[in-house]
Amino acid sequence: MKRRTLGALEVSALGLGCMGLNYHRSATLDRDEAIALVREAVDLGVTFFDTAQVYGPFTNEQLVGEAPAPVRCQVVIATRFGEVDVSGRRVLSSWPELIKQSTEGSFARLGVETMDLLYQPGWIPMC
């Protein structure tokens, strides 16, 4: 698989947006199916996975943290902040305290001590 450079990160040219694994308006996968899909993607060379706190809220980050655990050193996980507060209520905020609380929550849900890629979206969600 071709590779791309994102700053200091090297990732597969194809990434997997993980929202639909367990959070979507239509059908989603059960936990075991979602984990199998992520692990198969890794086997096929995908190394970039994108999630967000707002998906669930929070449940998608837990799933994306768990799914690639056996090969965590081979993948890059991106997540977003600033769309929900720590209780899961929708907000659009970049207050420093919310960023700190949100990031600490993401560390725990993803099961990591460092964040590969953390960003705040520049758009207003419509749902």
Q: Which domain holds residue 79?
A: 3-119
Domain at 78, CATH number: 3.20.20.100
Higher per-residue pLDDT: 32 or 123: 32
**Buried/exposed 43-63: b ≥16 CB within 10 Å, e otherwise:** eeebbbbbbbbbbbbbbbbbb
pLDDT, tens digit (0-9, with 9 covering 90-100), for 59-96: 999 999 999 999 999 999 999 998 999 899 998 888 89
Which residues partner with 17 through β-bridges?
Answer: 50
Residue 126: which pLDDT band, with cuts at 50, 70 and 90?
low
**Buried/exposed 74-107: b ≥16 CB within 10 Å, e otherwise:** ebbbbbbbbbbbeeeeeeeeeeeebeeebeebbb
Q: Report the alpha-carbon distance of residue 82 to residue 125 in Å, rounded.
A: 11
Catalytic annotation, pick one of 23, 49, 55, 58: 55
Query: pLDDT at position 92, please?
Result: 85
Whether 26 shows a pLDDT value over 60: the answer reads: yes
| 21, containing H or E segment | helix 19-22
pLDDT, tens digit (0-9, with 9 covering 90-100), for 29-63: 999 999 999 999 999 999 999 999 999 999 999 99
Which pTM value belongs to this model? 0.91
Look at residue 62 and tell me if it is in a domain: yes
Q: Is 55 a catalytic residue?
A: yes
The domain total for the chain is 1
Look at residue 125 and tell me if it is in a domain: no
